[in-house]
Each structure stands twice: as C-alpha cells, then as structure tokens.
Amino acid sequence: MFQRRFLSLLVCGLTLVALPTVLAAAPPEPTELLKNARRILFIGDSNTYAGTWVAGFEAWQLTKPAVPGQRVINVGLPSETVSGLSEEGHAGGKFPRPAVAERLTRVLDLAKPDLVFTCWGMNCGIYQPLDEGRFEKYKSGYLSVLKEIQARGAKVVILTPPYYDDAVKPLPNFKYDDVLGKYSEWLLTLRSDEIAVIDVHTPMVAEVAKRRAADAKFTFSPDAVHPSAEGGWFVTQQILRWAGDIPASEQPTPEAMLKAAGLPPEVYPLVQKRMAVLRDSYLTTAGHKRPGMAEGLPVSIAEKTAAELTREILAKLGK
C-alpha cells in the first residue's frame, strides 16, 4: 500500500514539475522570427514612413544569409495615430490626423505579412500633457491593432516611440517626452511569448543626455519630432541589438556597417530607393485618409521595379 501511494505521489510530482515546460512556450528567438518571415511589414507614423530605420534594417539583412522570397514593406503614414485622436486645428485645420484603424484591414489584406514591426506614440498624446483618457485611447487602440495582426497568424515586434526633444521645441508648462515615456513603459508590459518589444525610447533619451554632456546642442531630432538620419540609424541599432548582432549595431552608420561586413557601401542608396518605391505603392494601393502623399505605382509594377533594384544590388555585391 505504502509503495503504491509513494509511486502515485512521485508520478504526480513529476507531472507537476513537467507541466510548466509543456504550457509555457519559450518566446521565439529573433533570428528564428526573421528567418521564418517571408513578408515583413513596418507600420507606424511619419517616423516609420521616413524609412531611415527600415532601410537600415534592410541594409543589415544584406550582411546575412538571404531568405528566399523575403520582402520588407514600409507602410508608415505621416500624422497617423493608433489612438484615433486628433488635436483641434491639426495641420492648420486642413485635415484631422488619420487613424490606423481606418486602413489596417486593407493594409494587412494587401501585404499579407508574417512579421509586423509597429511604432506609434509620437502623435498619440497629441502634444498635450499626460491625460488618462488619451492614455486609455492609446492602450485600447494599440491592443485592437495587435489583436487584428495576431488573428492573421503574424508575429509582432513593437518599437517604443522615439523621444521628443523638449529642449529643441519646448511646450508650455510640461515635457511632452514624459508622456512618451509613460506610453513606452506601458508598451514594455506587453512583452510575452507572442509579442516582442524593443525599447527605443529609453536608450535614445540616455544617449542624448550622454552626448549633450560634450555638446550642449546635440539632438537626434532637429525639429523635436522627427529623427535625423543619425537618429533613424540609432533606432536600427536597437533592432540589431534585439536581433543579437552587437558588432553590426556598434557601427556608426549603415554604410559603415556594410563596409565592416565586406560589402560596398554604395548599395545603400539602392536599398533606400527600393524601400521608397514599395512604400509609396503599398500606401496608395491600400488607401488612407492622409492628403498630400506621393502617388505610388501599382503594386505589380512596383514589385517589378523592386526586383530590378534587387538585381542591381546583388550585382554590386558580386552575387
């Protein structure tokens, strides 16, 4: 009897020890996420649209074994929010801020991504002090976007928003970057087995403070909102650190990164051009509510143009 009870307890104990291993799947490794993604989408506001960190990411991909058929698509949209909010008199009263909810389904239908990098926040506080109502709109809007992306089986990597440079363009009686800091803190709580979060905001704030100790006028964002080419590369560096490529992330520019990998830096403008051709095409074809945007080519023609640019890039790489 004692032996039977002992064996029964032992089996139960082993089951209880093994159970977390079965239920708690380890988060996917960044290298696996990237290797298994044939279609990678970057979506966000004007800072994503500018394409500096998207092109930097694509340049870095050239230093790695090629993934057959992989395509990177940038569909960032200037002025956009995930919160659905817009301040009174935005753009001089010409148009309200577009909300990603209006176009997300069409974008996902068109791009069919396996992996999506998201980055909203800069516009979502609408350049006002922290307000719980606006914060809740940001949270609910972001969670809704994540739900729709995941429902399609795509993986998600969230980028916290870049910093707002209050020293360049101070706002009355408060620091707008404090708002973005709170938004970023919340985004970091979304890390899970299914969602990766790359903190851009915290290291960017720290780097600016460090550089200003030597140069009081240093900034990553000359207009307070939009990172320069240097600031965009800093964002890419955080992505490369997340991906585990520390040597590449320590290079000062994308061109230097390519050169350090033994590749010709002159391919970088071609990477930027390919990114822009596809971006304008997918934005136009999916449609949006933001006036004044460049008219893109039909997707079929843009893809052919991108393929020609890829062949030119590969030729320069000797492939």
Angle at 213 between CA 223 and CA 245, to 5 degrees: 75
Rounded CA gap, 73 and 112, in Å?
10
Q: What is the CA radius of gyration of the chain?
A: 22
Rounded CA gap, 249 and 239, in Å?
8
The number of beta carbons lying within 10 Å of the beta carbon of residue 172 is 5
For residue 148, what are the contacts with CB-CB under 8 A and spacing of at least 6? 104, 105, 108
Rounded CA gap, 55 and 74, in Å?
9
For residue 298, what are the contacts with CB-CB under 8 A and spacing of at least 6? 281, 285
- Which residue, 181, 118, 155, 137, is CA-closest to 38? 155
pLDDT for position 27: 53
Q: What are the domain boundaries of the chain?
A: 26-316
Q: What is the per-residue pLDDT across 138-153, written as a single tens digit (0 to 9) for each? A: 999 999 999 999 999 9
- pLDDT by residue, tens only, the chain of 319 residues: 434 443 343 334 433 333 333 344 455 689 889 999 999 999 999 999 999 999 999 999 999 999 999 999 999 999 999 999 999 999 999 999 999 999 999 999 999 999 999 999 999 999 999 999 999 999 999 999 999 999 999 999 999 999 999 999 999 999 999 999 999 999 999 999 889 999 999 999 999 999 999 999 999 999 999 999 999 999 999 999 999 999 999 999 999 999 999 999 999 999 999 999 999 999 999 999 999 999 999 999 999 999 999 999 999 999 8
* Structure token pair of residue 304: 């052919």
Side chain identity at 296, as an amino acid letter? G
- Which residue, 145, 77, 84, 85, is CA-closest to 116? 145
For residue 289, what are the contacts with CB-CB under 8 A and spacing of at least 6? 95, 98, 99, 102, 103
pLDDT for position 2: 37
pLDDT for position 17: 36
* Structure token pair of residue 261: 């990998």
Which alpha helices (H) appear in 86-164, and where do they start and end?
A: 104-111, 132-151
- Integer CA distances (angstroms), 253 to 193, 205, 219, in order: 32, 19, 16
Residue 174 backbone phi and psi in degrees, to 5 = -160, 165
pTM of the entire predicted model: 0.91
pLDDT for position 11: 38
pLDDT for position 29: 85
Report the top-level CATH class of 26-316.
alpha beta
